[in-house]
Structure 1
């Protein structure tokens, strides 16, 4: 499984890079604070919403601590997607939140 740190994601965003971030936390968690412009797909709905994703785009999965996003990464990789898990999740995030 490919992994990236929260700090590296933050640096890439601050440098103007357009990243395809997917937050797999629950609605209340995302409403409490999330990375700007992130796509929200709760982990429990991921298998029903994969049709919304493009296999030609790389995705970075985000959750609270990295566990659920790791599960999502494994799931999407097994279905042919280019996916990376953000280690440490939002607990490690020091960048801007909405």
Structure 2
């Protein structure tokens, strides 16, 4: 499977996701959080740093659950800048975003 390069908006969304997860994790160790979410510490590190801007939905859901975040909170936070839609453009639906 060939992955297309991320758009600037996707990269920015990945940065917002990473920042949200870092804030929610607080003083909790990355290792503890990753193990509780059943993801590798390297995966969590990459997501938090924005290097993985479009992580798999089950991964995000598992991390959010461990951190006590609702998926609604995550969705609202990472899409905050996309609320302004330019004329003639189309926002991607949640289903389209999760499929990417």
TM-score if structure 1 supplies the norm length? 0.29
Q: Which has the higher strand share?
A: 1
Larger Rg: 2
TM-score if structure 2 supplies the norm length? 0.28
Q: Which has the higher helix share?
A: 2
